[in-house]
Amino acid sequence: MPTRPSGPVATLDFQLLESSAGGFMTQQLRHQQQPLGASGMGKSTAVVLKLVRQELDMQSAAGQPDPAVSFLSLAQRLTRAEAVKLFMQVLVTQTAGFTRAAQNRPFGDILIRQGGVLSS
């Protein structure tokens, strides 16, 4: 019987879409167990924050006055299970103050904006 790793771990089992010069590049993260860093942030949270920050920075550089990342645009190429895990990370980053997420109507798109912690 395999032993469980001691200490907090983050299990990743989803794909994230990362923007690249040629379109979208899929980064697969399958069944990896990573200890949480000194900041208490799991690897999947760090990946989501990096992706959101890149999108917000691109929009700001383009002169968009109120940059926001659409959850639906991030999740459109993910499986249902992967989209649920991405949604969980949106909640984690919102709770930690890295992002602000807002949904204007039930079952509508979620817009993710820069939170107080992400701006530093």
Domain membership flag for residue 2 = no
Mean pLDDT, all residues of the chain: 74
**Least confident piece of the model among 32-41, 60-69, 91-100, 106-115:** 32-41
The model's pLDDT over 4-25, given as tens digits with 9 standing for 90+, comes to: 334 433 333 333 433 333 333 3
d(CA 29, CA 70): 22
Query: Does 16 reside within a domain?
Result: yes
Distance CA 95, CA 115 (A): 10
Whether residue 78 lies inside any domain: the answer is yes
**Residue 52 resides in a domain:** yes
Res 11: pLDDT:
34
CATH number at residue 85: 1.10.10.580
pLDDT at 34: 45
Binning the chain into helix, strand and coil, the percentages to the nearest 5 are: 35, 30, 35
- CA 49: distance to chain centroid? 5
With respect to residue 61, please indicate whether it lies within any of the assigned structural domains: yes
User: When comparing pLDDT for 37 and 51, which is higher?
Assistant: 51
| Boundaries of domain holding 78 | 9-114
Q: Is residue 89 part of a domain?
A: yes
For the entire predicted model, the pTM comes to 0.65
Query: Does position 71 have pLDDT exceeding 50, yes or no?
Result: yes
Instruction: Return the percentage of the chain with pLDDT > 70, whole number.
Output: 64
